Chains A and B, each alone.
Chain A
Amino acid sequence: MSEAPAVGTSGIPCREECLLRPGNTNCGGCGMSVGLRFLGEALAEAGQRCSLVIPACCGIVTAGAFPTTSYGVPVVASTFASAPAVASGMASVRDLNGETDQVICWAGDGGTYDIGLATLSAAAERNENIIYVCYDNEIYGNTGGQRSSATPPGARTATTPSGKPEQKKDIVAVMAAHGVPYAATLSIAHPEDFRRKLRTALRLEGMRFLLMHSPCPTGWKSEPGESVELVRLAVASGLFPLYEVRDGERYRINVEPDGTDPLEYFKRQRRFDLGRIDIDEVRQACRRRIERLRALSERFPIGAEA
């Protein structure tokens, strides 16, 4: 590496562990920015290096235009559906050469829940030695905000103008059903939990799947300054429970919902038309979900080892 301090695309110097450099193209209040910072810090703390594989999504636009890059690590852009396959090839070569740097996929919900699901499922089934982080903004942010299978019911998007009728796909359950060594949810409103899970993921081997609730002010029609508060409400109300699953069979809830009404979450974003949401049904669904996770955590606990 050169002697000069690393600089971002804006020319602002950044620290060595700066995975996301200043001058990137992310919108203000984008959850992805915070997530990438946490990831960079966790890698630096663990003394590990990484390469990123990023499919079509806001995360690859983040890099900025050739010949500059907003990423402080090597990045390979993949086609929309290919990130886990490209990462499989890269991780294979790394392993063949006895190297230890992490190969990390960083993908939006479209590349994860939808177009990339077959590839992700196959990589999970093969237990590829990669970390996969989905920053779930629940919308196709990069194309201007259309529905995805991660979009929650009732959310208005460009392709569901009167609110999405279907449920959000439970991608963590899908991944856990593959028996992957580690699957966990992340919230930037709970940085200590976030960092601990990154540490766990960096320590383990095989397919590690992390789902991060990623505020998207552009798509959520929310105030950038409220992003962290919004995802905090999602955790507190049980809309986005924080939990982890080991080997697809042992569970732990990390943050118990505190009785906050999901209505608070909906009210802060102009993507929801409150008149069209059956809030009682949402409350019941949150309750059922957390009760099920609680039962699993008690019956099949992760225990203290991790």
Chain B
Amino acid sequence: MPLELVTGNHAAGHSLAVAGEANRSARGVVCGIYPITPQTEIVEFVARFPFTKGRVVPVESEHSAMGVAIGGSVAGARAFTASSSNGLAYMAENVMVAGFYRLPIVMVAVNRTLGPPWNIWVDQGDTLMLRDFPWIQLYCESNQEVADTTLLAFRLAEDHRILLPALVAMDAFIVSHTQTETDLAPQELVDRYLPPLELPHRIRPDDPRTIGGLAWPAESLSMRVEFDEAMQRVPEVYEEAREAFLDLFGRDPGAAVQPFACDDADAVLVATGTIATTAREVVRRRRERGERVGLIKMKMFRPFPADELVRLLEGADRVGVLDRNYAAGIGGVFGHDLKAAMQGRRDDLLVQDYLTGVCGGDVTPEMIDSVLDDLLERASAGRPVWVGVEAPEEARK
């Protein structure tokens, strides 16, 4: 396919649109849309798309955008939406419902700092706020990865072994508003990659069932257990969807966990989103100097790919996690989860959390170098380290 110069937002919008169009021989597509910077271009894109069999509903809030997606999905349509930041916070109640109803809705989220204070720049705190919600979460690094992962997310979510909604995240502005040459999937191939949605538990007018009414603790519990089993199947089905993508489009949409120079590394960085791009370059340079350092890009955050991480970190003795988020009283979410995953399996592993680029500041190669210096010198892990904090004494007076 000819490459097109598009933003991350348009890459996502294109993939959502062609995925929706691919359901035209089934029950169609429904999308609830509500704008929020820096996501707005995505919903504008799908609002302009000439769906053969679809409806884009311009609603009054993010809460209702997910409500429309829920309604569309229970009725058997392919359904999606997009949001960001405080919009996700407002949507949260229905985000939870979509998951527990096992609706394979896909949402693209542009990571943006939660306010207050008012801040439109990248920070993962918004999607990570939803970390205990019943959603698959995938973090992307580039426009191409956004375009491909969005398509893959539908295949993964709609697989009958899974039937869980999926969230595809990208960094505000660095990806959402930056144009790069991107291979946008043509409709004919998407039609082959995404079979028409068949939602087994969709409502049927002659089948009186109440979806979401009261359930006693024992029944609620068994539904949670089934949910957990579906979550556990995600990594395997992800791999299948990835291979099928590679076969059809000739491109790798990227593994759930992506190691770089990890084989003999003593010290490994873990990064997500665009920080991974910068960190990869820093690791490459230090490798040239003979340092045994490596990088793991975590793309899949939910379910947490603990087994894969344990395997990849086998030879390492220390890990530095670059967390572009801050969970009150904990530090970084990725670092916290990684520590929990290693407990009892790699108690000798030093896991140090670094809070980098929180609230949208640049994460430079120099900052990552300083993180690696700190990591390599450490005798033990300590509290999460804030990186790049300038003390604006003058401003505080």
Chain B positions within 8 Å of A93 at CB level = 27-28, 30, 71-72, 75-77
List 26 A-B pairs, Cβ < 8 Å: A1-B206, A49-B205, A51-B203, A63-B210, A63-B213, A64-B213, A66-B215, A73-B205, A75-B211, A76-B71, A76-B203, A78-B67, A79-B93, A81-B63, A82-B94, A84-B64, A85-B32, A89-B73, A89-B77, A89-B79, A91-B71, A92-B57, A92-B77, A94-B75, A97-B27, A126-B57
What per-residue 1/0 map shows which CB atoms of B48-69 lie under 8 Å from chain A?
0000011101111101110111
A218 lies within 8 A of chain B by Cβ: no
- Sorted nearest first, the 3 A-B pairs with minimum C-beta distance are A89-B71, A85-B67, A77-B212
Q: Is the CB of B94 within 8 A of A79?
A: yes
Number of contacts between A and B (CB, 8 Å)? Answer: 170
C-alpha gap A85/B213 in the complex (Å): 18
Contact B206 A66 (CB under 8 A): no
Residues of A close to B70: CB separation below 8 A: 78, 82, 85-86, 89
B71 touching A63, Cβ below 8 Å:
no
**Which B residue's beta carbon lies closest to that of A119?**
B64
A99, B219: Cβ atoms closer than 8 Å? no
- List residues of chain B with CB under 8 Å of any chain A CB: 27-28, 30, 32, 53-55, 57-61, 63-65, 67-77, 79, 93-94, 97, 203-216, 219
- Cβ of A92 and Cβ of B60 under 8 Å apart? no
In the complex, which residue of chain A has the Cβ closest to the Cβ of B220?
Answer: A66
Interface check A172, CB cutoff 8 A: no
* Chain B residues in 8 Å Cβ range of A111: none
Shortest distance from the beta carbon of A64 to any chain B beta carbon, whole Å: 7
* Shortest distance between the CB of A159 and any CB in chain B (Å): 22
Q: Are B68 and A96 interface neighbours, CB within 8 A?
A: no
Main secondary structure of the interface of A (DSSP, over half): mixed
Task: Give the CA-CA distance A89 to B74 in the complex, in Å.
Answer: 9
Give how many A residues have a beta carbon under 8 Å from the other chain's beta carbons: 46
Are B207 and A92 neighbours in the complex by a CB distance under 8 Å? no
Residues of the A chain whose Cβ atoms lie less than 8 Å from the Cβ of B73: 89
Instruction: Determine whether the beta carbon of A97 is less than 8 Å from that of B206.
Output: no
Residues of B within 8 A of A73 (CB): 205, 208
A60-B212, A78-B97, A96-B55 provided; 10 other pairs, C-beta below 8 A?
A: A53-B71, A61-B213, A61-B214, A66-B213, A75-B208, A96-B54, A99-B205, A119-B64, A119-B67, A122-B64
**Cα(A305)–Cα(B1), bound, Å:** 59
Indicate if the CB atoms of A86 and B63 lie closer than 8 Å. Answer: no
Asked if A50 is at the interface of the complex by the 8 Å CB criterion, the answer is yes
Determine if A71 and B67 form an interchain contact, defined as CB atoms under 8 angstroms apart.
no
Q: Which residues of A contact B75 (CB under 8 A)?
A: 89-90, 92-94
| A285 close to chain B: CB less than 8 A | no
Chain B residues lying within 8 Å of A72, measured Cβ to Cβ, are 208
B203 touches A85 (CB 8 A): no
Q: A residues within 8 A CB of B77?
A: 89, 92-93, 96
Query: Taking A75-B213, A79-B97 as contacts, is the C-beta distance between A89 and B68 under 8 angstroms?
Result: yes
Residues of A that sit less than 8 Å from B by CB: 1, 6, 49-51, 53, 60-61, 63-67, 69, 71-79, 81-82, 84-97, 99, 101, 118-119, 121-122, 126
Is the Cβ of B214 less than 8 Å from the Cβ of A118? no
In the complex, residue of chain A having the shortest beta-carbon distance to the beta carbon of B72: A89
Q: Which residue of A is nearest B53, CB measured?
A: A96
Does B219 contact A86, Cβ atoms closer than 8 Å? no
Q: What residues on A are CB-neighbors of B203 within 8 Å? A: 51, 74, 76, 90
B68 with A86: CB separation less than 8 A? yes
Q: Which of A63, A65, A85, A87 has the most CB of B within 10 A?
A: A85
B209 CB contacts on chain A under 8 angstroms:
69, 74-75
- The answer on a CB contact under 8 Å between B210 and A71 is yes
Asked if A85 contacts B216 (CB within 8 A), the reply is: no
Give bound CA distance, A82 to B101, whole Å: 15
**Chain A residues whose CB sits within 8 angstroms of the CB of B61 once the complex forms:** 118-119, 122
Of the listed residues B61, B205, B210, B215, the one surrounded by the most CB atoms of chain A closer than 10 A to its CB is: B210
CB distance from B170 to the nearest CB of A (A): 25
In the complex, A76 Cα to B28 Cα: how many Å?
19
Are A121 and B215 in contact (CB-based, < 8 A)? no
Residues in A whose Cβ lies below 8 Å from that of B68: 85-86, 88-89, 92
Q: How far is the CA of A82 from the CA of B59 in the complex (A)?
A: 11
On whether the beta carbons of B57 and A71 are closer than 8 Å, the reply is: no
> Pick the contact of A71 from B71, B205, B208, B216 — CB < 8 Å?
B208
The answer to whether A67 and B219 touch (CB under 8 A), given A49-B206, A82-B94, is: yes
For residue A207, give the distance in angstroms from its CB to the closest CB of chain B: 14
Whether the Cβ atoms of B207 and A74 lie closer than 8 Å is yes
**Could you say which residues of chain B place their CB within 8 Å of the CB of A63?**
210, 213-214
Closest B residue by C-beta to A6: B208
Q: What is the CA–CA distance of A292 and B71 in the complex, to the nearest angstrom?
A: 39
How far does the alpha carbon of A89 sit from the alpha carbon of B27 in the complex, in Å?
12
C-alpha gap A6/B206 in the complex (Å): 12
Q: Which of B58, B93, B213, B214 has the most CB of A within 10 A?
A: B213
List of B residues within 8 angstroms of A53 by Cβ: 71
**Cα–Cα distance between A51 and B211 once the two chains are bound (Å):** 11
Q: Which of B63, B71, B74, B94 contacts A88 (CB 8 A)?
A: B71
* Chain B: CB-nearest residue to A75: B210
Write out the residue numbers on chain B whose beta carbons fall within 8 Å of the beta carbon of A1.
206-207
Q: Could you tell me the distance between the alpha carbons of A86 and B103 in the complex, rounded to whole angstroms?
A: 13
> With A71-B208, A73-B208 known to touch, is A86 a contact of B215 (CB < 8 Å)?
no
